[in-house]
Structure 1
Amino acid sequence: MLSGLVRPLAMRYDVNPCDVHLIHERLTGLKTEKDDEISMRTGLEGWKGVVRIAEGQAILTDDFTNDRAEWEDFAVRVDTAMDALNIQGQWAHEAGRALSSGDYSQLSNGFQERIQWIKNALGESGNALEADTLNGMVCEIYREGSTRRAEVNHS
C-alpha cells in the first residue's frame, strides 16, 4: 500500500486569512461560484503572521489491508502523527480551552481584537450575532486537532 510513502507535515500560522469568509459562509449558508476562488486567493496572499512548519517520520502501514476500516485507521494514524509534531497557532490552546469551558472571557487581547475585526468585516450580519455565538465560531476556526478525534461544536 503506502507504507513509508506518507509523511506527516503540519503548517500552522497565527492568523487564518479566510476566517471571515468561513464565518460568512456558515452564517448565510450560501457559497457563490467565486467563493472558492476568493478563499484560495485570500489563503495564498493574505497575512498569516508567524508560519510554523514541521515534518515527521514516514508512517509505516505494512500491517494494513485495503479495506475501509484500515483506511480510516490510516487517517487516524496520520492525524496522530501530525498532532505529535506539536506545533500550534498562537490562539489554538486558548480557543480549545474556551470551547471546552464555554467561557470566552479569558481570551487574550490579540484574539479578542481579531474577533472584533471579524465582527466589523461581517457588517450587519456580524453585529446581529450574540457575542458568545461569534466567539464560539471563531474559536472553532482557531482550535486545532483532528475532528476525527475531537468533538465538533455545530452551534
Structure 2
Amino acid sequence: MNKEEQVMMSLRELVNKMAWLNKFKMQESLRGYKSSEVHYIEYIGRNSDSNVTKLAESLYMTRGAISKMTRKLIKKGAIESYQKPDNKKEIYFRLTKQGQEVYNIHEELHKEFQERDKVVFEQITEEQLDSMLNFVEKYNRHLDEEMKKRGY
C-alpha cells in the first residue's frame, strides 16, 4: 500500500471511529432524532433563510430528498416553514423551540467531543495544523471540480 492509500484508509478509519464513539452519546442525548435529521437541524440553525435549494447544495442531497426530510421535521415539530412578505414563491425553514433545543444539545455534544479529543490537538504544532488544513482544502477543491464535471 502506498502512502496515498494509507492516508485515505487512515482518514476513513478516523471518521468511522469518531462516528462510532460519538454515536452512543448522540443517540442517548437526542432520542427520537436520527443523525441525518440532526444534520438538517444543524444547517437550518446555522443559516438563516434556509430553503430547499440551499439545503440540497450544502448537504449534497437531491431537492426531493430535502423536501421529504423537511416535511418529516415539520411533522416532528423541529422546524417550520415560512415565506417572506416580498417573495411568496420561495419557502424557507427555521427552527421551532423544539428544534432549537435539539440544535443546542447537538452543539454541546460537539463541545464535549472536542474537549475529549483536545489532548491530541495539544500535541500538534501550528505548522502541522496548517499543513493538514492545506491538504484538506486542496482535496476539497479537487472534489468540487470533479463534482462540477459531473454536473453536480
TM-score by length of 1: 0.27
Structure in which a larger fraction of residues adopt strand = 2
TM-score by length of 2: 0.28
